[in-house]
Amino acid sequence: MKVAVLGAGAIGAYVGAALHRAGADVHLVARGPHLAAMRQHGARVLSPRGDFTARVRATGDPAEIGPVDFVFLGLKATSYAACGPLIAPLLHGTTAVVAAQNGIPWWYFHRHGGPHDGHRVESVDPGGAVSAVLAPERAVGCVVYAATELEGPGVVRHLEGTRFSIGEPDRTRSARCAAFSEAMVAGGLKCPVEPELRGDIWIKLLGNISFNPISALARATMGEMCRHGGTRRVIEIMMTETLAVASALGCEPDISVERRLAGAERVGDHRTSTLQDLERGKPLELDVLLAAVVELADITGVPVPTLRTVHAISDLLASRTAA
């Protein structure tokens, strides 16, 4: 199995290192000091489960790799529409793209069934720009439950979690999902194939849609938001509205707001990825988290006044950050 990791940051390098341990032919695509360090020393993983170094190939030019069986997409969703020149050299007729994306993916309604089958979510696929680069037929969904961070160039700190749930948009148990799952498991990770992956998407989104924008607006950690009574109530309402949208689309996530909040509270004083991006002056990945659900509320007729309010304010923040 030949795999390219496009966007080999903390999560991408962690997955690439695990697949390399499983015997896959892995190529990491990165840039800058991180790329230089991995070229010289390999990808080093520091983990409570044991440290290791993967002497994996790394490059800044995907053309050096050529077509692969799987592309693991570790880029931010904000970079998808512009990644055409990077991903094109990696594709052959049956290359699958495993997209480790938070929020509503561009392929969400691909082979969804029902009244919205084939609908394009403008917030995440504006004008079809993402679908033009990443054909939905290639997509294998992936919900990441692992937490990692780059401790330094070429060094990934694995904090917790090893689960990467994957699934086909059409809910089938495909041979390509089975093959990718087998390689991930052989590398020491959990990779269940979930026919109803959209349920996992909504479960993770419950936290991202609420904690991420609020953390940026309040400059607050997970623990601080949970402990502040008023903010906690706003987050509860946002989660409840989100579950109502999911239900209107025929998806009933197997989790309660109380359980989701309790899980977030256990994380403690962790800074969300959106807060970290804000502090680093990077674009805020809020369209796929918040704008998309507001758009889905529009097509289903579900009232989401609190989501709309937080979206309006955080969208202004995102536009100022991008300026």
List the catalytic residues.
Answer: 204
Sheet of strand 70-73: strand arrangement: 57-59, 25-29, 2-6, 70-73, 96-100, 139-144, 164-167
């950050």: which residue's tokens?
321
Distance of CA 78 to the CA centre of its chain: 11
Taking the CA atoms of residue 143, residue 197, residue 247 and residue 240 in that order, the dihedral angle to the nearest 10 degrees is -20
Strands (E), the chain: 2-6, 25-29, 43-46, 52-54, 57-59, 70-73, 96-100, 139-144, 147-152, 155-160, 164-167
- What's the CA gap between 245 and 195, in Å, rounded? 20
């230089």: which residue's tokens?
36
- What's the CA gap between 61 and 132, in Å, rounded? 21
SS3 49: coil
